[in-house]
Structure 1
Amino acid sequence: MVDDENLELINPKDWSWSFWFTLPLYPYGKRRTLRQEIIKDTIWTFDQIQGIFYVVVPIRMTVVKLDEGGLLVYAPVAPTPECIRLVNELVVEHGDVKYIILPTISGLEHKVFVGPFARYFPQAQVFVAPNQWSFPLNLPLSWLGLPAKRTQVLPQDSKQTPFAAEFDYAILDTIDLGPGKFAEVAFLHRRSHTLLVTDSVVSIPADPPAIVQLDPYPLLFHAKDQASDMVVDNQANRRKGWERITLFALYFRPSALQIPTLIAAISAAFKAPERSYRAYFGLYPFKWQQDWERSFTALRGDGRLFVAPVLQTLILNRAPQETINWADKVASWPFQWIIPCHFHAPIKAAPLQFRQAFSFLEKQPAVSAGLLSSSSYPLPAEDFQILQQIDTGLSKTGIVPTAKDKL
């Protein structure tokens, strides 16, 4: 249930994010926040959106009430006045924010908010994933906006943290990507049997999430079949736009999408009913094949848990053994729910389902963490073509290390 029932009464200034230029993604300086209570008086999610060219997906922060009183925040989002107000409502009832967790080292869309968010809660300790880096210069954490006197690196042993009585965590070993690195820290909240992850696994809802539907313009933009279309705002078109946005976000360019020439796209733009700045001056450089829905159906499945194609093709295949070891450790925990930082949440899932999501790294099913990792859910090979071309190009130029063979 969304807590904000009277959104029309909120001052738009509450959505203001003044530092949008540090990561200039849509919706830029105006970000809405939706809070949802996942487990009564225990876990809440805070959803915002971000994207490029109206390919908007949720980005999520999770707040957990501590048994000792107070709150732990996993992966902060933009601290707009609305977001901070919603957090402070929990503070009044459940105690101060005590711990703020940055669970990734490469996700700028997560890192950029931690420092500004922490400034609103000066008593909170900040814990970050090991081996943080920045590009083009590797700067100290304090230079990245993190409070120097109260920021520390998560130790490899979760028992050495002040929240060890309530949480376990597992650090995915740093994966070398050439100019940068990838890592992720999964947190288990024992009492609620809830797993918190950043980017490693996702599940796709059939309908666009509530946060995306607050402003349906991006959904309707991508529901068009051609630039001259005037799309009616109804649930069918919102879902159509959401399905295409999902394919863009996870494949970049699925096989069912054709890109017309620049001349053709500009010519079509003159026929567009709306040629404002918001509508990119009528430019709609996409042409979807008639059977494009099959790609979304295969991707979503029945709402299953899976690893995003981008991670499968460009990141985790650089370190299959390290990734499998991490997945085995996470799958040894008795969780019943998973909350990722993107797309659907919460996801009802068992450890076996989490482990299965990573079997794309294996040649044969393997017995890991006492669980039989049966076949993963293979996605259409043709939808991976662009990602594989990117992978090949990066490897040939030596920008990133070559992907390793499956285990």
Structure 2
Amino acid sequence: MADDQSTKKPKQINQQDFSWPLWLILPLYPYGQRRTIREEVVKDTIWTFDQMQGIFYVVVPIRMTVVKLAEEGLLVYAPVAPTPECLRMVEELVAKHGDVKYIILPTISGIEHKVFVAPFAKNFPTAQVFVAPGQWSFPLNLPLSWLGLPAKRTHILPSDCRNTPFAKEFDYEILGPIQLGLGKFAEVAFFHRRSHTLLVTDAVVSVSADPLDIVQLDPYPLLFHAKDSASDMVADHPTNRRKGWQRISLFALYFRPSVLSVPQWAEVFRQATKAPNRSQKAYFGLYPFQWDVHWQNSFEILSGEGRLFVAPILQTLILNRAPRETIDWAEKVANWNFQRIIPCHFDSPIPSKPTEFRQAFSFLEKHPTSERYLLPEEDLQLLRDIDQGLKKTRIVPPPQEKV
């Protein structure tokens, strides 16, 4: 994989390049300032654009993928915030490979993806926008044009991928929509035949032991979560960045892994008075986390041997509502001969075979063929409890039996 080093280390930093004025629509850290890193995954064919976002400094990458079309032009999968820096990087590809022809919104429930499509499309007025079927909004289910998508050039992805203008180069399979009571879930996996590359949104992820480059551009969240107590002064060096990243990953994927406990708030406030930094940026010294001494074991299980897995929230709250449909979708995707997977979060690209992708969904089976892809039940406990609560209140349909 070749890197665009010039995009990682600009000679001059202009804060206006990172400006994202619409951040109030989705107020996630780093709010109105978003950096972008572009990397070339397949030479002159595929590029990823990474940005960062999160809550309470639990920051994870969010990724857009751009694919060069065989004849001319570009296809954009899951746009990110079109900051001046990001747009400049896209325009560099446009100048060399042709206009952005197609923009794909491959999900219906991920607001962190949906929110960027309309402003991104506005910058490429000739691009056709294709969205996953079953789009919805809350609290009112509004027409797509009311959400800012260009009415005359926005289309619903047809169930048969052969009925699209990019069918010569791409296959896709639609999962869902899966009914979730007040909402729905769907994802569209794209397969670029020429480069043997699979594009997914949230379906599968892989987590490396070291923080990705985009997260290291702003190390403060990494160092914040590297603390063991509110009174810690954490130096900025690779070991602490790595420690913070691994804890962030456990937070982001499990919400509360078994190796994490939350002290009584009286104790949290007492410890905050001892914090060396009680600024607003440091949340006034509040640090309501207590990590078990063996916390790293949970991370090693999560990331070991380049593990490919389905995100825990999908396992426990969403895909278990439609196990048969999900397995059927995974088997269709596994029929493609891809060599790498580019998801919208965490590591990319992930070297992977179709059989590994299919086995990642073995948690939906009564008798899984491999336990390598199963996550520890103790770390899933909080999500299991949430699932039980939703089931009792009938907010979402109950889980279905495994297949």
TM band (smaller chain)? over 0.9
User: Does structure 2 conserve the Cα–Cα contact (< 8 Å) formed by 1:250 and 1:308?
Assistant: yes
CA distance in 2 between partners of 1:112 and 1:341 (Å): 14
CA distance in 2 between partners of 1:95 and 1:69 (Å): 6
CA distance in 1 between partners of 2:246 and 2:350 (Å): 19
Structure 2 counterpart of 1:259, from 249, 262, 273: 262
TM (normalized to structure 1)? 0.97
How far does residue 124 in structure 1 lie from its aligned partner after superposition? 0.1
Alignment partner, residue 32 of structure 1:
35
Alignment partner, residue 376 of structure 2:
380
Alignment partner, residue 388 of structure 2:
392
Unmatched 5+ residue regions in structure 1?
366-372
In the TM superposition, structure 1's runs of 4+ consecutive aligned residues that sit over 4 Å from their partners are none
Alignment partner, residue 161 of structure 1:
164
Q: Which digits, 9 at most, give the CA deviation of each residue in 1:316-375, with x for residues without a partner?
A: 00000000010000000010010000000000000000000000000124xxxxxxx544
How far does residue 173 in structure 1 lie from its aligned partner after superposition? 1.8
Q: Which digits, 9 at most, give the CA deviation of each residue in 1:79-135, with x for residues without a partner?
A: 000000000000000000000000000000000000000000000000000010001
Alignment partner, residue 349 of structure 1:
352
Percent sequence identity is 71
Alignment partner, residue 370 of structure 1:
none
* 1:137 paired to 2:140: yes
Alignment partner, residue 79 of structure 2:
76
Alignment partner, residue 368 of structure 1:
none
- List aligned pairs for 1:182-261, cutoff 5 A: 182-261=185-264
- List aligned pairs for 1:98-117, cutoff 5 A: 98-117=101-120
User: Does structure 2 conserve the Cα–Cα contact (< 8 Å) formed by 1:220 and 1:231?
Assistant: yes
User: Does structure 2 conserve the Cα–Cα contact (< 8 Å) formed by 1:359 and 1:376?
Assistant: no
Q: What secondary structure is seen at the aligned counterpart in 2 of 1:276?
A: coil
AA aligned to 1:59 is: I
TM (normalized to structure 2)? 0.98
Q: What secondary structure is seen at the aligned counterpart in 2 of 1:152?
A: strand
Q: What secondary structure is seen at the aligned counterpart in 2 of 1:10?
A: coil
How far does residue 273 in structure 1 lie from its aligned partner after superposition? 0.7
What CA RMSD, in Å, does the superposition of the two structures yield over aligned residues? 0.9
AA aligned to 2:230 is: A
* 1:23 paired to 2:26: yes
CA distance in 2 between partners of 1:257 and 1:137 (Å): 37
Q: What secondary structure is seen at the aligned counterpart in 1 of 2:306?
A: coil
Alignment partner, residue 47 of structure 1:
50
CA distance in 1 between partners of 2:237 and 2:364 (Å): 40
- List aligned pairs for 1:324-335, cutoff 5 A: 324-335=327-338
Unmatched 5+ residue regions in structure 2?
none
Q: What secondary structure is seen at the aligned counterpart in 1 of 2:380?
A: helix
Select between 347-356 and 299-308 the one with higher mean Cα deviation: 299-308
User: Does structure 2 conserve the Cα–Cα contact (< 8 Å) formed by 1:172 and 1:326?
Assistant: yes
Alignment partner, residue 300 of structure 1:
303
AA aligned to 1:133 is: W
